[in-house]
A and B are shown apart, each in its own frame.
Chain A
């Protein structure tokens, strides 16, 4: 591998303007595949979810999944696209062993949705990303190359093919060239993919989990000298599969292109692979000639012609879109841009909303989901929604705190118990004996002990330094293993030492 000397990001942007194109594939969450009745469930035995059609057996024929069409139209509408009155599928012809028919049923010059946009926010400013098209297609199977060192086909002794994924519906969403983002191009790319993911989730058409391959991004990037109209030659970085990687890949390619161009070199139009470990890209297979997919209209399927009435019906039932919802919640919750961004990044909105709906105050709901629970989700490497605790349970913990039955420290222990499967919050409180102790007779002895053991501090308080009481409260809390009602302890200390609170 040749090491590319990069130009620093700042230098690159001083001379060139980046132009990006983003292609995002979303696996739809339909129960069955795009053109047959096979299940789309993940994790099944290899090749157990196949039939003559998705295996491309001689004689088999496709039949379009109506839910797939509906999802495509809804995505198109949410992206402010026009919806085709009449469109066809097309065959994209190329040979690859994990593609059963050796053509992919896709759409070519007649996409179901086209000419839309998605507004994204970068540092509080709105940036409009224009959408070229959203079209329907089917996924391929999966190849596993065995015997090589890298898991790549090079050096492998043989390959295993799993066709369970073959035929799962995909929507490919392609942007128009994104110009004018300047040095924020990588951030715009990331914000776009993030916004798109939120949108897809809000529509309920896919879980859009990038780590599961349910959403995959290709980053096309070129540079042009500042002031030049004509676009430069682009590179196509394939399968960039996390938000952070999208940003890093764009950034790397800006620096690489600038280095090549700065040296008087030319950019080769090629596929590149992104490497998660160091954030670099390397050249993919060099093709001797441009791939000719020989697209033509799929003769086995009839045209798709969504009626205008149906399209309007779907438009009227679109959910509140994430950006609108975010602006509303930000105002309702009284958050800063930065705070709202953190909530968004954590994917916490649905959980917080549900917790508020279950009766918790907004600040409490946000505090638990963004604090203790976000930490746990991060440790376990799962989404917040996958944690074994329900919004209703979090709301109950918040209620116990606000009525004074728990303090924060105890509440954390209750949450820990719930996550450990010990039952709902009240059960955990009961089993672990986690009630706050505010009974004076029980606290009195501990307070007296703390005073006796910290005479110097006690004297300061007697002398009027009331703020020193904190040290004694701490001692009492320690002695009671956090179960004391801290406010009452403070009162008792001040009562005994004559200070005023």
Chain B
């Protein structure tokens, strides 16, 4: 009998729709897998067994009534614990929201439910999405299914680990500086940061409002596209949501082709600090694209060297304001309220106890960057750099259809290795940050294992805003060519848990 957890989302949905398997059976298989391996992986913070089975039963009932099912109906999904779920805990990986039960569903949560997707539970993450390793979670780290002593990337390490370990067929991540793409790269999975404004942020707990973007995590390019289509689209509850049709991502994923396309290689990404095996696999990917008929163009985007610095001013600035609401007054943790202390003291004690070190570091950075007398030098300059980066992208996209680069400079590093070195940790997002600052669409997909450590390497593809379909057209072509070469999906080379 087929292991239902090994199917792609597209295959799973097809089998459920045809009646070959029930959604309940699929859900039960994944819950059993979670029971078997999540103690080791720790991808989930909360498993919603009852909710998942109820949703699966509803899908089966709908099919029995002869109603048409959506393209992902009955497919089990792992939801990053940053999206609100009515009646189900949402912690954002932080102690400050421990025990909080949101009274409302995020727009994305609602869309998943409406599409019949089965939400298995909420996945682990760096606290408030701040980090590149998931070590900053207040609830302990997540292991990389390729090597449990290594990080699964971050902030969405729980989501990438859940699909890489077959605990879920699909997952949702959020990407502020690379939190979907970098975890995808280091776990050998596919992750997409859609165009800023493509997926509603309503109900997604804010880290940095102008950068945050929810997106799909999957084991194949087509699965990612199917999920993309479910979650994207205009939402009147999010003012920054784009009021335009979703680009034809599924159609593109089904018709991978790069013949005649112009592909830009960003000169600034590479060299010192990049692992040799990562560069080797990246260069092979470029060669592959050429073989598939793409024209390769070297592109220079000089402002990208400033992206990391600009990011670490803009994101902390916005977070210092976004996280001010956690004051112990209305929800979440409350410390020191013994009847003798003022509200101000209770707020201070709660924030001191409830936020982790990285969150505090960024709140302080942001508070400083926005303060009077420093605003122009820090926040103001960072916004100018942002404009330059957007301009560099615009010029690049006059010459090429997409840009490619390694997703992250190294493969998965050991848990603990960079925990005390924020700068080393920040460098993991060197290649992913520019797309967030400009609001472009970007994808990471597997391009092989680094020879020196046998760990997955990610290829990043970047497309202009609202040209998300190009990611899928290129990604599907690369994926098909690599799998033909390897004879199987890369993930099958991962050791069994």
Contacts and interface: CB of A to CB of B under 8 A. Distances in A.
List 3 tightest A-B contacts by C-beta distance, closest first.
Answer: A102-B324, A299-B209, A294-B370
Contacts of A159: 343
A265 interface: no
A39 to B, nearest CB: 18
The range of chain A's interface size is 20 to 34
Contacts of B344: 95
Contacts of A62: 239
Contact of B83 (A59, A63, A296): A59
Interface string B194-211: 000000011111101110
A440 B372 CA distance: 88
Interface string A70-114: 000000000000000000000101010100111100000000000
Contacts of B304: none
A59 B240 contact: no
B449 to A, nearest CB: 38
Nearest to A94: B324
Interface string A170-192: 00000000000000000000000
B327 A300 contact: no
B65 interface: no
B274 interface: no
Contacts of B90: 58-59
Interface in B173-205: 201-205
A52 interface: yes
The range of chain B's interface size is 35 or more
Given A299-B209, A299-B318, A59 B325 contact: no
A56 B240 CA distance: 18
A24 B317 CA distance: 30
B103 A57 contact: yes
Given A59-B205, A294-B367, A294-B371, A91 B84 contact: no
B204 A63 contact: no
Contacts of A161: 329
Given A57-B84, A301-B239, 10 more contacts: A57-B104, A59-B84, A59-B205, A93-B321, A97-B347, A101-B325, A294-B321, A294-B371, A299-B208, A299-B210
B84 A296 contact: no
24 contacts: A58-B206, A58-B331, A59-B102, A59-B203, A59-B205, A61-B201, A61-B237, A61-B238, A61-B239, A63-B238, A93-B320, A95-B344, A95-B347, A294-B321, A294-B371, A294-B375, A295-B370, A296-B317, A296-B318, A296-B321, A300-B239, A300-B240, A302-B239, A302-B240
B454 interface: no
B102 A292 contact: no
A97 B343 contact: yes
A95 B237 contact: no
A343 B401 CA distance: 72
Nearest to B328: A97
Given A64-B239, A294-B370, A58 B317 contact: no
Contacts of A292: 371-372
B106 interface: yes
Interface of B: 83-84, 90, 92, 97, 100, 102-104, 106, 201-206, 208-210, 236-240, 317-318, 320-321, 324-327, 329-331, 339, 343-344, 347, 367, 370-372, 375, 379
Nearest to B366: A294
Nearest to B84: A59
A159 B371 CA distance: 30
Interface in A405-426: none
A61 B92 contact: no
A15 interface: no
Contacts of B205: 58-59
A443 interface: no
Interface string A272-302: 0000000000000000000010111001111
Given A57-B331, A102-B324, A52 B240 contact: no
A33 to B, nearest CB: 14
Q: Could you say which of B84, B202, B203, B239 has the most chain A C-beta atoms within 10 Å of its C-beta?
A: B239
Q: Could you say which of A60, A100, A294 has the most chain B C-beta atoms within 10 Å of its C-beta?
A: A294
Nearest to B204: A59
Contacts of B103: 52, 57
B341 to A, nearest CB: 11
A159 B343 CA distance: 9
Given A60-B202, A296-B317, A299-B318, A101 B324 contact: yes
Contact of A103 (B104, B210, B321, B339): B321
Nearest to B206: A59
Contacts of A294: 320-321, 367, 370-372, 375
B240 A296 contact: no
Contact of A59 (B202, B210, B371): B202
Nearest to A53: B237
A296 B317 CA distance: 9
A479 B236 CA distance: 75
A298 B327 CA distance: 20
A100 B84 contact: no
Contacts of A59: 83-84, 90, 102, 106, 201-206
B56 to A, nearest CB: 26
A301 B327 CA distance: 23
A98 B315 CA distance: 26
A302 B201 CA distance: 14
